[in-house]
Amino acid sequence: MTRSVLVVAHLHHPEAVAATELAVRTLEEVGMRAVTEDEFEYGSPLEAVLVLGGDGTILRAAELARGSGAPLVGVNFGHVGFLAETEREQVDDVVRRVATGDYEVEERGTIEITVHRPGAPPVTDWALNEAAVEKSDRTRMVAVAIEVDGRPLSSFGCDGVIMSTSTGSTAHAFSAGGPVVWPDVDAMVLVPVSAHALFARPLVVGPQSVLAVEIVRRSSSAGLLCTDGHRRIDLPVGSRVEVRRGADPVRLARLSPAPFTDRLVSRFSLPVQGWRGWAGEHGVTT
């Protein structure tokens, strides 16, 4: 059976397009078949998914390959590229390592989303990063009620509410003031956005919890649900969004054993000058 690799690229990025052509040639050299997005049929067997782009492209690739079990390996052509494994100069090497299985697989938790809307059947979705309830009218706040494990916690007007995985804690939730959660922590994060309230702090809950956000009846504005930044569902007043831990993780191929701390420092260009490690171990007096 031919070994197939799905290639997903940011086709509006000239460098990513050139890198895609290189990746396809290298895959052919090592006896593997490159499958493009247009050729891919859901359910087709895949050995891996090669992603050439930023985090948005990786999220799109995760949606395409959902259920295949194939690990995603990202080559960063974006700005931050937090989910990417390596940089654009290493495309040829990445392909050859995928061909020889020279990588480890890391599983990242997902969330499952159920949307209840007045007069309509429930709608389900999923996300690797987050489900964000946003206001649909830019000139007005949306009034929401927050619930954790079937119990009301608070209600307030706001610009939105983000419910994220640990992986998504460094994305939209981080920009809204949420905590950074290490990816091996099995948790979910809820972050209110510009809430008009005395108590609207970010929350971190366990893997068995269920988060819910309702667009309350007193709201003068409807809402909008955005999952992983690109799938959207309208939320009329009276809608309810429930978020729980997903059953199916996303598998990421890891080419380097570098810890998550190093990834944070690299992606956010954090200042670490002056760090000496365990000073006593090196006989350093501080």
Cβ–Cβ under 8 Å, residues 178 and 129:
no
- How far apart are alpha carbons 209 and 245 in whole angstroms? 8
The one catalytic residue in 55, 102, 159, 186 is 55
- How far apart are alpha carbons 280 and 286 in whole angstroms? 9
Tell the burial category of 273 from Cβ atoms under 10 Å away from its Cβ (0-12, 13-18, 19+): exposed
In this structure, the chain runs to a length of 286
Contacts of 266 (CB under 8 A, 6+ apart): none
Residue 55 catalytic?
yes
- How far apart are alpha carbons 19 and 157 in whole angstroms? 46
Cβ–Cβ under 8 Å, residues 96 and 229:
no
Strands 48-53 and 142-148: unpaired
What are the distances in angstroms from CA 124 to CA 36, 231, 233, 242, 259?
27, 12, 10, 10, 34
Cβ–Cβ under 8 Å, residues 155 and 144:
yes
Structure tokens at 144: 């929401």
Tell the burial category of 231 from Cβ atoms under 10 Å away from its Cβ (0-12, 13-18, 19+): middle
- H helix or E strand, kind and range, residue 116: strand 111-116
Please give the distance of CA 9 from its chain centroid, rounded to a whole number.
17
- How far apart are alpha carbons 159 and 194 in whole angstroms? 6
Which residues are known catalytic residues?
55
